[in-house]
Amino acid sequence: MKKCLTIATVTIMYIVMTGSCRSSIKEAPGSSDFNYQVDRFEDIRVLKYQLPDFNSLSLKEKEFIYYLSEAALCGRDIQWDQNFKYNLLVRKTIEGILSTYKGDKNSEEYKTFITYAKVVFFANGIHHHYSNDKFIPGFSSEYFASLVNGSDDSSLPLAEGEKKSGLIEKLTPILFDNKLYAKKVNGSDSEDIITSSAVNFYEGVTKKEVTDYYASLGDPSDPTPVSWGLNTKVVKQGGKVTEIPYHSGGMYGPAIDKIVYWLDKARQVAMSEAQAKALGLLIEYYKTGNLKTWDEYNVLWAGDTEDPVDYINGFIETYNDPLGMKANWESIVEYRDIEATKRTAIITANAQWFEDNSPVNPAYRKEKVTGIAASVINVAMLGGDSYPASPLGVNLPNADWIREKAGSKSVSLANITNAIDIASQGSGMLEEFAYDQQEIDRAKKYASLASALHTDFHECIGHASGKLAKGTDPNALQNYGSALEEARADLFALYYLLDKKIVSLGLVPSEEVGKAEYDNFIRNGLLTQIVRIKPGKNIEQAHMRDRAAIAHWVYEKGKDENVIELVKRDNKTFIKINDYQKLRKLFGTLLSEIQRIKSEGDYEAGKALIENYGVKIDPALHNEMLERYSRLNLAPYTGFVNPVLTPVTDGNGTITDIKVDYCSDYLGQMMEYGKKYAFLPVIN
């Protein structure tokens, strides 16, 4: 629950990036003629990212990165199957058609099929990666049947003795019935959030059965509880609710074995003994599925902050579970950006000061903020849940007691942010939505630094701050937990971005940086972020709910004093901040209240806050935003193709170097991965 998605900040990025790119990020050699954008379809653009200074890494570091990268790619099928039970069946059918279809490939209908294939690949399944809605194909079910019939049997995922007609019959309702499996994750409390969500974490069980089952496990007074249900699917067997765990020999075993194979190779060239030991525990966890081992691993992993190459690998984020317990598989391989890490080191060194001076009730502050390691890194490979839509910053591990005891690691993904920055310059977003020239100038000058600092504070300190009251269930906020947690981290950042302290620490030249971030945050939260939502829909995604809730709450609470003004000009709506200091105070008040809600596990108050301020959209404003945005012709979501890493060997098969190639063919990479990293049966 500690991850900030690229897509969530893209609107910010468009605004930010009209100026120069982030000063702390070094330009990679030759990046001026590096063509970042490789594809553009529907609401998505796909970029490639560079690996700065990769060639100056040592051979051992490169080799380590290579093995971890293979492990990162081997879990792809898991992520697909977790998202929805029939995703692999759909994907393999699409792959079969793409590779062997004999009919007309220049027709308009075939083009709509290609677009469908691209959005499904991007989402790792048939539900939109962000809105969670099922994609409705732009072609007919009859055309789909003709595509299958025009492709080779051997390329299609036909079951033993099955004919193409059988496959078509199976897939037609899955793809075309818009009531069936309509939502991957249903966050609306008006229905049973388990039975109405298509995500493959539960089957044949109701929300009540699941919550009763987990309530019966564990000891509520255990100060070091395992992350119950993190790596299992819940089903009913013989009328009894039970879990099927993911591990070697169990569910997803064939893919897990491949991950283990590469992790073991990585372990042998690890950067340090501590890192090798942690990898050993991770391997053991994958073999057994034992959550105690997972915790032991995380304690070691969180404590290992010195190594120049690091990784994330496992069942980690729980956004796709309506109950926030079960995690999607993901991996990121990363190496340190040494220059930019100096900035986060200043923030980390002052973590205790920020904690002690926060507006939060002292009872809910941490007496001792331990081991918040923050670094700026470059990504070498994205996998599973982080591919192709990548986060911009990550703070792990997620278990509260481990974070309190062993600390947490926080990273900002420099080369990913840099790719977005450069690809987004001159989008026109700022000119369209900013209130006046002063705001535009301030954004051009400072928004890039402001946004980087917001991410640093959010990740390094925001998520790591605060503590629970004794006896509070960490899952008490249930389906509102993710949005409230993100809001807490955002508010921590916002509060300090206008503090004199960060000027005195030399992090910013003046308070103009904080003002630029306030402009940007409120503009995004009240206005522009809704361009990513279809007319008539509510806000569902946790980060978006967080931003909407904060912006609407401070707008309403500051109304009497006209802190934020909604201005109409030429039938266009703008926001104008009249008093930045008062706005900062409101951020502080809300931070204190959300920390109280989390610390006390006040579900009703958390629910009211999110439902009243973070979910609904004014339809007239929504139409206006969509209309203005559509004229800019921008893609609201961004994702990435990975570089291709290839070992160079001598005559004896010893690795002498790792070669980097940049892929510019999005569909090609998807097809390549489909061949190379397909380890699971279509139904698991």
Smallest separation, CB 411 to Zn ion (Å): 12
Residue with Cβ nearer Zn ion (444 or 543): 543
Binding window for Zn ion (CB under 5 A); candidates: 340-348, 489-497, 521-529, 617-625: 489-497
CA separation for the pair 362, 148 (Å, rounded): 64
Smallest separation, CB 458 to Zn ion (Å): 6
> Which residue number places its CB atom closest to Zn ion?
4
Among 16, 489, 583, 597, binds Zn ion (CB under 5 A): 489
Yes or no: say if 171 and 120 are a contact pair by the CB < 8 Å rule. Answer: no
Chain-centroid distance of CA 249 in Å reads 29
Smallest separation, CB 347 to Zn ion (Å): 15
Residue with Cβ nearer Zn ion (404 or 459): 459
Q: Is 374 in the site for Zn ion (CB under 5 A)?
A: no
Smallest separation, CB 27 to Zn ion (Å): 28
Q: Is 522 in the site for Zn ion (CB under 5 A)?
A: no
Residue with Cβ nearer Zn ion (337 or 486): 486
Residue with Cβ nearer Zn ion (4 or 527): 4
Q: Helix 603-613 crosses helix 542-557 at what angle (to 10 degrees)? A: 80
C-alpha triplet 13, 614, 128: angle, nearest 5°: 60
Smallest separation, CB 302 to Zn ion (Å): 17
Residue with Cβ nearer Zn ion (484 or 617): 484
Smallest separation, CB 503 to Zn ion (Å): 25
Smallest separation, CB 182 to Zn ion (Å): 28
Residue with Cβ nearer Zn ion (247 or 543): 543
Task: Provide the pairing of β-strand 232-237 with 564-569.
Answer: unpaired
Q: Is 12 in the site for Zn ion (CB under 5 A)?
A: no
Count the neighbouring beta carbons within 10 Å of the beta carbon of residue 330: 24
CA separation for the pair 152, 140 (Å, rounded): 21
- The two tokens of residue 191 are 């229905």
Binding window for Zn ion (CB under 5 A); candidates: 4-12, 193-201, 240-248, 429-437: 4-12
CA separation for the pair 431, 436 (Å, rounded): 9
> Count of residues binding Zn ion (CB under 5 A)?
3
- H-run or E-run covering 613: helix 603-613
Using CB under 5 A as the binding rule, the residues of this chain from 205 to 244 that contact Zn ion are none
Residue with Cβ nearer Zn ion (134 or 366): 366
Using CB under 5 A as the binding rule, the residues of this chain from 428 to 487 that contact Zn ion are 486
Smallest separation, CB 372 to Zn ion (Å): 14
Bridge partners of residue 244, in order along the sequence: 233
**Cβ contacts of residue 648 below 8 Å, gap of 6+?**
655, 656, 657, 658, 659
Binding window for Zn ion (CB under 5 A); candidates: 3-11, 16-24, 256-264, 492-500: 3-11
Residue with Cβ nearer Zn ion (439 or 486): 486
3-state secondary structure 53-120: CHHHCCHHHHHHHHHHHHHHHHCHHHHHHHHCCCHHHHHHHHHHHHHHCCCCCCCHHHHHHHHHHHHH
Smallest separation, CB 211 to Zn ion (Å): 25
- H-run or E-run covering 572: strand 572-577
Q: Is 526 in the site for Zn ion (CB under 5 A)?
A: no
Q: Is 316 in the site for Zn ion (CB under 5 A)?
A: no
Per-residue DSSP letter, 532: G
Q: Give the residue among 480, 311, 506, 474 at the shortest CA–CA distance from 396.
A: 311
Residue with Cβ nearer Zn ion (4 or 57): 4
Residue with Cβ nearer Zn ion (5 or 414): 5
Binding window for Zn ion (CB under 5 A); candidates: 2-10, 120-128, 347-355, 470-478: 2-10
**Cβ contacts of residue 273 below 8 Å, gap of 6+?**
none
Bridge partners of residue 565, in order along the sequence: 576
Number of Cα atoms under 13 Å in the Cβ half of residue 680? 29
Smallest separation, CB 474 to Zn ion (Å): 16
Smallest separation, CB 451 to Zn ion (Å): 14
Smallest separation, CB 328 to Zn ion (Å): 16
Residue with Cβ nearer Zn ion (181 or 354): 354
Q: Is 360 in the site for Zn ion (CB under 5 A)?
A: no
Among 4, 7, 491, 617, binds Zn ion (CB under 5 A): 4
- Say which residue the tokens 């075309």 belong to: 176
Binding window for Zn ion (CB under 5 A); candidates: 1-9, 247-255, 367-375, 644-652: 1-9
At residue 405, what are phi and psi to the nearest 5 degrees?
Answer: -85, -50
Smallest separation, CB 661 to Zn ion (Å): 33
CA separation for the pair 406, 372 (Å, rounded): 9
Residue with Cβ nearer Zn ion (186 or 412): 412
Residue with Cβ nearer Zn ion (4 or 414): 4
Q: Is 542 in the site for Zn ion (CB under 5 A)?
A: no
Q: Give the residue among 327, 249, 257 at the shortest CA–CA distance from 294.
A: 327
What CA–CA distances, in Å, run from 363 to 161, 366, 451, 597, 658?
Answer: 66, 8, 30, 13, 52
- Report the interface residues with Zn ion, using CB under 5 A: 4, 486, 489
